[in-house]
Amino acid sequence: MHFETYIKQIILQTPDVKSFRFDRPEGLNCNPGQYMIVTIKSEGTELREPFTISSSPTETDFLELTKKLTGHPFSKALDSLKVGDKVIIDAPFGEFTFKGEYDKIALLAGGIGITPLRCIIRYATDNQLKTDIILLYSNRFDDEIIFKNELEEMHRLNNNLKVVCTVTRPSEKWKGLVGRIDKEMVQKVIPDYMERVFYICGPLKMVEAMVVILKDLNIPEKQIKQEYFPGY
Ligand SMILES: Cc1cc2nc3c(=O)[nH]c(=O)nc-3n(C[C@H](O)[C@H](O)[C@H](O)COP(=O)(O)OP(=O)(O)OC[C@H]3O[C@@H](n4cnc5c(N)ncnc54)[C@H](O)[C@@H]3O)c2cc1C
């Protein structure tokens, strides 16, 4: 479906990531984890890119995308928009979804790949789903952890949620895991990995590496769902 909407709020999440919140278009029904095609105007030309809907269907008064700003044309055009500016949205799309159909899930995120997983966690937390969720989230630096405070808050609200972050270039104050997600880390953080359905999202290379690890652990293909963001 095709919608016209307006920016209602812009939130700086990390030094190079912003969330853009729009008035939620009436009639847009989507499942947690789905994406939209966003069209914006820049100097007379239209630019279009796909973005995860990072807000949950339970957040009924806005629709959100969360973008890593790269300095490339779309990033620049999006970052120049202001509250009140118009955007066009085509949605919903995608099969990378979770609405409570599994008892245990594991979410593996790399950087900006947290967006659909944030949506899924928010949906499960708001609906008090019984699903046992483990998020293993990898970033380069500790100040790059997107939604850090919110993930901690959801962990406090949701007894079925475990959040584990790892960083590859830790600061001196970092107390969490260090290094990329590897087989040993998956085994340690998710000991019951055979019982879980995995959702992986991040840059292509990260997603490919995770699939290799899970296959090496003999996790059946039907228990692995993946989405990757090209261009990172
Ligand atoms: C299903 C799906 C969901 C997605 N969800 C998200 C999301 O939630 N958040 C998010 O941030 N992204 C998401 N993406 C990726 C997003 O659609 C864009 O591809 C990405 O944000 C790149 O935008 P950009 O502003 O960097 O580049 P654009 O300006 O759109 O350029 C596209 C690509 O061209 C290349 N390029 C352009 N200009 C230059 C240049 N000057 N030098 C070198 N290379 C250049 C780069 O590879 C760049 O990535 C998603 C993608 C998919 C398929």
For 150-183, the DSSP string reads HHHHHHHH-TTEEEEEEESS--TT--SEES---H
Please report the domains of the chain, with CATH numbers, ordered by start residue. 2-93 (2.40.30.10), 104-229 (3.40.50.80)
Q: For 144, which DSSP code?
A: G
Please say whether the beta carbons of 225 and 96 come within 8 A.
yes
> Do 119 and 30 touch, CB atoms closer than 8 A?
no
Residue 11 has pLDDT above 90, yes or no: yes
Taking the CA of residue 65 as reference, the ligand 1 atom at the shortest distance is: 8
Nearest CA to ligand 1 atom 46: 231
Indicate whether residue 15 lines ligand 1 (CB < 6 A).
no
* Ligand 1 centre distance from Cα of residue 19 (Å): 15
Q: Is 73 in the pocket of ligand 1 (CB under 6 A)?
A: yes
Indicate whether 84 pLDDT > 90: yes
* Confidence bin at 43 (pLDDT 50/70/90): confident
> Tokens in use for 24?
């939620």
Sign, CA torsion 50/5/117/138: positive
From the CA of 66, how far away is ligand 1's center (Å)?
Answer: 12
Between the CA of 3 and the centroid of ligand 1 the distance, in Å, is 22
Place of tokens 């270039």: 169
Query: What is d(CA 177, CA 107) in angstroms, rounded to the nearest whole number?
Result: 16
- pLDDT > 90: percent of the chain: 97
The pLDDT value recorded for residue 231 is 79
Q: Can you tell me the distance from the alpha carbon of 50 to that of 36, in angstroms, rounded to the nearest whole number?
A: 6
51 lines ligand 1 (CB under 6 A): yes
pLDDT on residue 15: 95
Confidence band of 4 (pLDDT split at 50, 70, 90): very high
CA–CA separation, 132 vs 159, rounded Å?
9
